[in-house]
């Protein structure tokens, strides 16, 4: 009878150890998932900020004539009738 109890105790301890190991592994996975979620939430906030900035730029390009004018002048070098465009050239550095 004592041997039977000892065997049952060993089996119970083995099952307890396996259960604790599984729990710890699951807990580590859960902690990693929490870290990943925080990182993804931060990335989402950054992307939402960038999206809002780009939406604002699109609205300015659609509706603001001053923004359109600045863009055309800068990108294409356009000038208004009667204006004179100057190009500043840096002198070459002697070698």
In angstroms, how far is the first alpha carbon of the chain from the final one?
A: 100
More confident residue, 36 or 78: 36
pLDDT band per the 50, 70, 90 thresholds, residue 52: very high
pTM listed for this prediction = 0.53
Confidence band of 24 (pLDDT split at 50, 70, 90): confident
Is 42 contained in some domain?
A: yes
Distance CA(5)–CA(9), nearest Å, equals 6
Contact assessment for residue 58 and residue 52, using Cβ atoms and an 8 Å cutoff: no
**Which residue range(s) make up the domain with 45?**
2-76
In a domain, 28, yes or no: yes
Domain count, the chain: 1
């Amino acid at each position: 009878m004592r041997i039977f109890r000892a065997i049952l105790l060993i089996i119970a301890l083995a099952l307890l150890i396996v259960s604790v190991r599984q729990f710890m592994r699951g807990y580590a996975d859960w902690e990693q998932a929490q870290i990943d979620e925080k990182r993804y939430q931060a990335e989402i906030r950054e992307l939402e900020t960038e999206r809002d900035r780009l939406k604002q730029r699109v609205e300015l390009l659609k509706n603001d004539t001053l923004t359109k004018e600045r863009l055309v002048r800068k990108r294409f070098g356009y000038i208004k009738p009667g204006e004179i465009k100057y190009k500043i050239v840096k002198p070459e550095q002697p070698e």
